[in-house]
């Protein structure tokens, strides 16, 4: 876990205060050296008090008044009137509370690091017949860039190759890679899922899609008011009453120690500690189910959420293509077709091909090594498997190479991915692939409604027909499809007029909306599995 200078300072203050308190107790009650004990307690208090006064001045400069002022007054008064033990106890309570709060918030400080980790730092550019790696800020419109397999597209541009195969799931939510023809626009932040291709830059890095999403995140975050601790809401009135009672006790008894006693007793250490202690307990419980919570604000706001906005890909669904059915022709068995297709699919890293291989292995099929494999990026594969010529790919790709009529399959209009398989020159069948709902989704949404959520809306960059098919039967209150990142932000802001909004998503495209919502729930890589559930099968 990474620690900032502020976190280290809070840890050091707690160590100093606790060490001073314990050492003073040993000196006073075990060695009968009350004079040294008083000095030791003072040494433990002074650094905490100094740090507290600096923080109070910063808060006052921002126009904020908190209960920390009462803690500072009690420590100061105790030191002035010789009650060093009381000052040491308050110092430990205060430094312990700030340490717990810092520790709890630091455990889940990952979302922005994950977002920034995707930003490429350099790009490979063609220059005078050779390739050179250059920083992104040196790329200008018109530069020709090489995008290798697995590279993230660094800037917006047009495809300068016959075809390119891009995974845009982090930007649009589309679960399956898309094929782009020569001259098509490619968005920065997409991942090259096919062969290497050239890209002609059309924008500078700072003006590209991915940079725009980053700016949206920063703007959405800065527009939100920080959540204050519950006790701080009444801090000014509490401070005035406390000081008034302390002066009254001093005035009527003519004993300044009475004022110190009032300030020490009134120091809201239970209130200061309540939030961080409850937060740590909540974090521990949530971590048991694989949930990381950032700060006290989301925990408090979650109870008030009345609208839930959900992304589809990787959130409601697994985010990976899975075989949902196999249709065969001419009496061929489904396992035979799957086995031959999977054996050939071993030769490529295409996500659809990997899903076919995974399904075959789950069914216990033996996959021989294919021979004479040829891949047409974004289209399909041909090769020899145990002496049989096999073709696997899109419907049009396979039909154009076998003896079959080019009739449309019903799945082509249902928002699914259709993989055709040809064997020995004939169309042997089709595998229908989709991105189905996670197991337990219906029960989860029903449970949220019982907890007080009134409206549940799907917000996705996918097509309307796909969104409607996947979510059929869930009883959603609305489906918003084909949304860009900024449109998701507008949807969140619009729904906030009805009450607090919780947004759940997983991709970079969801980051601005997550930041704009009252509560943003960022799923892990490809989404977090539901607690105590097995991983979803890639087979039907």
> Which residues are designated catalytic?
311
Tell me how far the alpha carbon of residue 530 is from its chain's centroid.
16
CA 166/CA 160 separation, integer angstroms: 14
DSSP string, 111-139: HHHHHHHTS--EEEEEETTEEEEEEGGG-
Q: Are strands 307-310 and 501-505 parallel, antiparallel or unpaired?
A: parallel
Strands in 187-264 per DSSP E: 191-192, 197-201
| CA distances from residue 501 to 446, 474, 516 in whole angstroms, order as listed | 17, 19, 9
Q: Is the dihedral of CA 280, 286, 292, 296 positive or negative?
A: negative
CA 195/CA 148 separation, integer angstroms: 7
- Those residues whose C-beta lies under 8 Å from the C-beta of residue 494, and which sit 6 or more positions away, are none
Q: 111 exposed, middle or buried (CB, 10 Å; 0-12, 13-18, 19+)?
A: middle
Q: Which two tokens stand for residue 473?
A: 């039967």
CA 232/CA 229 separation, integer angstroms: 5
> SS3 for 296?
helix
Name the nearest CA neighbour of 299 among 497, 101, 82, 495.
101
CA 522/CA 519 separation, integer angstroms: 10
Name the nearest CA neighbour of 10 among 94, 133, 130.
94
| Alpha helices (H) in 2-136, listed in sequence order | 5-29, 34-61, 68-80, 84-106, 111-117
Count of alpha carbons within 13 angstroms of residue 88, beta-carbon side: 23
Q: Which two tokens stand for residue 108?
A: 């889940």
Q: 7 exposed, middle or buried (CB, 10 Å; 0-12, 13-18, 19+)?
A: middle
Q: At what angle do helices 84-106 and 256-266 cross, to 10 degrees?
A: 20
* Residue count of the chain: 540
SS (H, E, C) 157-187: EEECCCEEEEECHHHHCCCCCEEEECCCEEC
């Amino acid at each position: 876990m990474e620690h900032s200078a502020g976190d280290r300072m809070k840890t050091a203050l707690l160590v100093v205060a606790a060490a001073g308190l314990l050492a003073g107790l040993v000196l006073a009650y075990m060695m009968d050296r009350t004079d040294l004990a008083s000095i030791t307690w003072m040494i433990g208090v002074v650094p905490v008090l100094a740090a507290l006064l600096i923080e109070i001045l910063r808060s006052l400069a921002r126009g904020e008044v908190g209960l920390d002022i009462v803690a500072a007054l009690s420590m100061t008064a105790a030191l002035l009137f010789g009650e060093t033990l009381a000052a040491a106890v308050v110092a430990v309570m205060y430094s312990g509370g700030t340490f717990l709060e810092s520790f709890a918030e630091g455990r889940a400080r990952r979302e922005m690091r994950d977002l920034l980790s995707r930003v490429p730092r350099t790009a490979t550019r063609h220059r005078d017949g050779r390739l050179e790696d250059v920083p992104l800020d040196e790329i200008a419109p018109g530069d020709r860039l090489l995008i290798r397999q697995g590279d993230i597209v660094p800037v917006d541009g047009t495809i300068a190759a016959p075809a390119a195969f891009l995974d845009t799931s982090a930007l649009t939510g589309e679960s399956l890679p898309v094929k782009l023809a020569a001259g098509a626009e490619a968005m920065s932040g997409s991942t090259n899922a096919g062969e290497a291709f050239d890209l002609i830059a059309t924008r500078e890095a700072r003006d590209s899609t991915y940079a725009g999403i980053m700016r949206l995140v920063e703007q959405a975050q800065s527009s939100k008011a920080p959540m204050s601790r519950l006790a701080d809401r009444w801090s000014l009135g509490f401070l005035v009453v406390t000081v008034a009672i302390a002066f009254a006790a001093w005035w009527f008894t003519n004993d300044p120690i009475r004022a110190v006693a009032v300030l020490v007793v009134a120091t809201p250490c239970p209130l200061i500690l309540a939030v961080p202690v409850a937060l740590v307990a909540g974090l521990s419980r949530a971590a048991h189910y694989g949930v990381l919570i950032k700060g006290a604000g989301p925990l408090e706001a979650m109870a008030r959420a009345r609208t839930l906005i959900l992304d589809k890909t990787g959130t409601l669904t697994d985010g990976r293509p899975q075989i949902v059915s196999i249709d065969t022709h001419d009496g061929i068995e489904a396992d035979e077709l799957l086995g031959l297709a999977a054996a050939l699919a071993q030769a490529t890293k295409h996500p659809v091909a990997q899903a076919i291989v995974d399904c075959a292995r789950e069914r216990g099929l033996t996959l021989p090594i294919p021979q004479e494999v040829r891949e047409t990026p974004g289209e399909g594969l041909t090769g020899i498997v145990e002496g049989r010529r096999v073709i696997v790919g899109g419907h049009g790709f396979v039909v154009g190479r076998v003896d079959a009529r080019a009739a449309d399959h019903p799945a082509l209009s249902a928002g699914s991915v259709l993989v055709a398989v040809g064997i020995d020159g004939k169309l042997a069948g089709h595998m229908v692939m989709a991105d189905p709902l996670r197991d337990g989704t219906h029960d989860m949404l029903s449970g949220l409604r019982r907890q007080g959520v009134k409206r549940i809306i799907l917000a996705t960059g996918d097509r309307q027909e796909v969104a409607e098919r996947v979510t059929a039967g869930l009883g959603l209150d609305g489906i918003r499809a084909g949304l860009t990142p900024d449109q998701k932000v507008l949807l969140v802001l619009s729904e906030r007029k009805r009450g607090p909004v919780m947004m759940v998503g997983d991709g970079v495209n969801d980051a601005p909306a997550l930041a704009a919502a009252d509560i943003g729930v960022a799923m892990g890589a490809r989404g977090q599995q539901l607690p105590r559930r097995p991983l979803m099968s890639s087979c039907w």
